[in-house]
Structure 1
Amino acid sequence: MSDLDQLTQSLARNLKRWRGERGFTLDVLAARAGVSRGMIIQIEQARTNPSVGTTVKLADALGISITTLLDYEQGTQVRLVPASQAVRMWSTESGSSTTLLVGTDARGPVELWSWHLMPGEGSASDPHPEGTVELLHVTTGELILTVDGEDHLLPAGTSATFEAHVPHGYRNDGTEPTDLTMAVSIPPVAREGR
């Protein structure tokens, strides 16, 4: 089984499981995530591999990390994630990429990301649920962080934090690659009806 097939199967199984644990019907999850009911059915039946944006929306709507939504096994208190199991979520032909390094659902999902942006490239993000916080640290190059329409220049060595319930994005307007590490803390979601 290829990595993509394994990812598709894990996503299908975990989406069904977490939707059931939250007590969400297909219609409730579709409304919360802004994803069509038909798309959720296709994902749960492992008939499609959704975009990163769709996967993020589903994880946010369920109140879990993307790691939890994609992970095939969880259990021990210490979980080591070798580089070979980190999940490449986004990449371009020029060499830009994001990699989900590790995540947890303790006290609400927390994710740790590694980003590599080539010159002239970037990525925009839809607003996350209210209470979501992002922390990032630029290790090489310069990053333009856009939060709610306002640009912020972060040269190497600079860290930032912001509430991510507004549109935001990351881009490299420089001439050298930009590398950064990002942590995302998402508030927990209660079961429907509580």
Structure 2
Amino acid sequence: MKNKVNKMTEVGADIDFVSAAVSTSVKTYRQQQKLSLDELSRRAGVSKGMLVEIEKGSANPSIAILCKIAAALGLSVADIVNVSADPLAHLVAEADIPVLWQGEKGGTARLLAGTQGPDMIELWHWQMFPGEAFESPGHPQRTYELLHVEQGELTLKVDEQVLAVPCGSSAVAKTAAPHSYANLGAQPLIFTMAVAEIHS
């Protein structure tokens, strides 16, 4: 069964799709670090009420909120959704790959795999239907994204720079600044993305 952590990420989320892995992980890691909800709220810049709802499994956090919580805990998002590991080799079965964003027309962002935080690398698979877009407020400094378009055309915006990335092409972006991905074309967009976040 897929762990659909986030449907309609920013608004209109369906809490039936909240992954139990997220609520369990956030609470476990917070307690292991002996952090109160108030302290985690302060460090992450996420309201205490939202954290309470996440730990209860009754909220549907956006990718941006998951990123903030992970950074505050010194983790990766992959740690929180249980697709990270530290052995020489680790299999993430197809059924265990979570959907962390679902667009209004059915597009998805799936976190395929990732390393443990705080320095981390994540591998994502995105599908966006015409008219869909995703916006991020920006990640910590020294965050880089490598993108490769497999179908359609990606409109990538980083701060005020807009880049059209056609099928078969790749792009590199420093994503500490606000950024977005959009499908402004007439056909579905599919792209693979690697995210590297370096703290040391």
Question: In which range does the TM-score fall when normalised by the shorter chain?
Answer: 0.7 to 0.9
Letter in 2 for 1:32: R
Amino acid at match of 1:99: R
Q: Does 1:37 align with 2:48?
A: yes
TM-score (norm 1): 0.84
Query: Is the 1:143–1:153 contact (alpha carbons within 8 Å) kept by the matching residues of 2?
Result: yes
Paired residue for 1:84? 95
Aligned residue-pair number:
189
Q: Write out aligned runs for 1:37-56 (5 A).
A: 37-56=48-67
1:175 correspondence with 2:186: yes
Matches within 5 A, 1:93-172: 93-105=104-116, 108-172=119-183
Residue 146 of structure 1: CA displacement?
0.1
Quickly say closer, same or farther: Cα 1:73–1:114, change in 2 above 3 A: closer
- Structure 1 position 64 matched with structure 2 position 64: no
Q: How far apart are the structure 2 equivalents of 1:164 and 1:114?
A: 17
Q: Normalising to structure 2: TM-score of the pair? A: 0.82
> In 1, are the aligned partners of 2:62 and 2:101 still within 8 Å (CA)?
no
Unpaired segments ≥5 residues, structure 2 = 5-15
- Given residue 77 of structure 2, which amino acid in structure 1 is its aligned partner? I
Task: Please state if 1:11 is matched with 2:58.
Answer: no
- Partner Cα distance (2:153, 2:62) in 1: 27
* Shift, 1:41, TM fit: 2.2
> What's the CA shift string for 1:90-145, capped at 9, x where partnerless?
11342211111011126712110000111111100111111111111111111110
The verdict on how the C-alpha distance between 1:106 and 1:89 changes in structure 2, with shifts beyond 3 A counting, is closer
Amino acid at match of 2:142: G
Q: Distance in 2 between matches of 1:49 and 1:68?
A: 17
Q: Secondary structure at the match of 2:57?
A: coil
Q: Answer whether contact 1:141 1:179 (CA < 8 A) is retained.
A: yes
Paired residues of 1:63 and 1:188 also in contact (CA < 8 A): no
Report the Cα offset of residue 187 of structure 1. Answer: 2.6
Partner SS state of residue 177, structure 2: coil
Question: How far is the alpha carbon of 1:75 from its aligned partner?
Answer: 5.9
Q: 1:35 & 1:106 partners in 2: Cα distance?
A: 19
